[in-house]
Amino acid sequence: MLEELGWIIAFLAVFLVTHYQFKYCIPITLWSLKIIQTCLIILMCKLYVVFRVYGKSIDLSQFNVFIQEFLNVTSKYTDL
């Protein structure tokens, strides 16, 4: 009797958690994916304008400098 009551309570708890998961997590995930997709589309448009319309060229040495500076800054904050 006590074990069956425990299983019923466990079922109700999991049912409630699943209900809230589908009620709140799916819309939040969809909004997050929409925002990420919008940002990527705008990034592609901006890259097209910068490189095709303004005629800028890609300089990989600037990318290398950026990565090195980024790693230096992050290592400064991650030291314990």
Domain boundaries, the chain: 2-78
Residue located via tokens 């819309």: 27
Per-residue pLDDT of the chain (80 residues; tens, 9 = 90+): 888 899 999 999 999 988 888 888 888 888 888 999 999 999 999 988 888 888 877 777 877 887 888 888 877 777 65
Q: Got the DSSP string for 10-51?
A: HHHHHHHHHHHIIIIIHHHHHHHHHHHHHHHHHHHHHHHIII
Query: What's the pTM value of the predicted model, to 2 decimals?
Result: 0.52
- What is the per-residue pLDDT for 79? 64
CA distance 42 to 49: 10
